[in-house]
Copies of this chain bind each other. A is one copy, B any other.
Amino acid sequence: MKISLAKHAGYCYGVQRALKLALEATVSSTKPIHTLGPIIHNPQVVESLKKQGVNAVNSVDEVNSGTVIIRTHGVDPKIIKKVKNRGLGLIDATCPFVAKAQQRAADLVKEGYNVVIIGERNHPEVAGLLAYANNQAIVVESAKELENVEVMGKTGVVVQTTQSLENLESILDTLLFKTKDLKVYNTICNATSQRQEAAAELSKQVDLMLVVGGKNSANTTRLTQICTKNNKETYHIETADEVNELWLDGIGHIGITAGASTPDWIVKEVIDRLETLAGGS
């Protein structure tokens, strides 16, 4: 049995940076360290950080002392103000590419554009982008949602950094019917595009595709969707335990990819388990 890892997979720059900042904080501070929501969308990593004293909270109101880490997805700037006002320490681990998208959203509002955010309505990154657009933007997940929207005037677009280029294209095709004046900041990050392209390519070549990463991770879920399109034998797993021996029946070539928030050690565990199962058969 052959196992191939996608050319681009796993931790992206923003996630690596956030984890580094969190670990540095545990070393340098004796006060409690909190992240606002899980620092990345990977339950195993969050669990491991918890053991090192980093706890996820749901709201700044829960924190009375110590430091608050803003996670990769970014937040409403009001929350950052609140952290400072409560006299808490602040570590802003917002992914620099998300910060750029936030800035673009603010710029568009300043320049008088009607802002459209392409992304998942309930994702924290999108909530942050919306706040930077003064909560004046409309959020669109798919071209279909635009069908009943009226003519929109001067329209500016920003995109959740983990969206697919395909979805952006299809929404722009529809927007062109709604406005004559369109400004697009394609804020999809390169790590996302690279992982998506590599996953699409590999999934076409293999008998079975495994996508490793948090079930709550937007970018990992998108990788699964892309792989499923190219290969019906695609499974999204969080850990090595989830690999089902029956999946491997008659399989010669397995492809693996992993989301931007998936640590290498989980990918390694998956590969180890696959090799054990193959050796045993």
Residues of A within 8 A of B (CB): 165, 168-169, 172-173, 176-177, 179-187
Q: What are 26 residue pairs bridging A and B, where the CB atoms are less than 8 Å apart in the complex? A: A165-B176, A165-B177, A168-B176, A169-B172, A169-B173, A169-B176, A172-B172, A172-B173, A172-B176, A173-B173, A176-B184, A176-B186, A179-B186, A180-B185, A180-B186, A180-B187, A181-B184, A181-B185, A181-B186, A182-B183, A182-B184, A182-B185, A182-B186, A183-B183, A183-B184, A184-B184
Which residues in B have their C-beta under 8 angstroms from that of A169? 172-173, 176
Neighbouring B residues of A180 by C-beta, 8 Å:
185-187
Bound complex: CA A32 to CA B2 (Å): 83
This chain's copy number in the assembly: 2
* Interchain CA distance A185-B154 in the complex, whole Å: 10
**What 17 additional pairs, Cβ within 8 angstroms, besides A168-B176, A172-B173, A172-B176?**
A165-B176, A165-B177, A169-B172, A169-B173, A169-B176, A172-B172, A173-B173, A180-B185, A180-B186, A181-B184, A181-B185, A181-B186, A182-B183, A182-B184, A182-B186, A183-B184, A184-B184
Q: Which residue of B lies closest to A166 (CB)?
A: B173
With a cutoff of 8 Å between Cβ atoms, the chain B residues found around residue A172 in the complex are 169, 172-173, 176
Q: Which residue of B lies closest to A187 (CB)?
A: B180
Instruction: Determine the chain B residues whose CB is within 8 A of the CB of A186 once the complex forms.
Output: 176, 179-182
B residues less than 8 Å from A184 (CB atoms): 176, 181-184
In the assembled complex, which residues on chain B have CB atoms less than 8 Å from the CB atom of A182?
183-186
Complexed CA–CA distance, A187 and B179 (Å): 10
- Chain B residues in 8 Å Cβ range of A177: 165
Chain B residues with Cβ under 8 A from A165's Cβ? 176-177
Closest 5 CB pairs of A and B: A182-B184, A169-B173, A183-B183, A180-B186, A176-B186
Give Cα A173–Cα B186 distance, bound, in whole angstroms: 12
- Alpha-carbon distance between A181 and B172 when the two chains are bound, in angstroms: 14
Q: Which residues of B contact A168 (CB under 8 A)?
A: 176
In angstroms, how far is the closest chain B Cβ from the Cβ of A100?
A: 9
CA–CA, A146 and B173, complex, Å:
18
Q: How far is the CB of A50 from chain B (nearest CB, A)?
A: 37
Write out the residue numbers on chain B whose beta carbons fall within 8 Å of the beta carbon of A176: 165, 168-169, 172, 184, 186
Complex Cα spacing A29 to B264, Å: 83
Least CB distance from A183 to B in Å reads 5
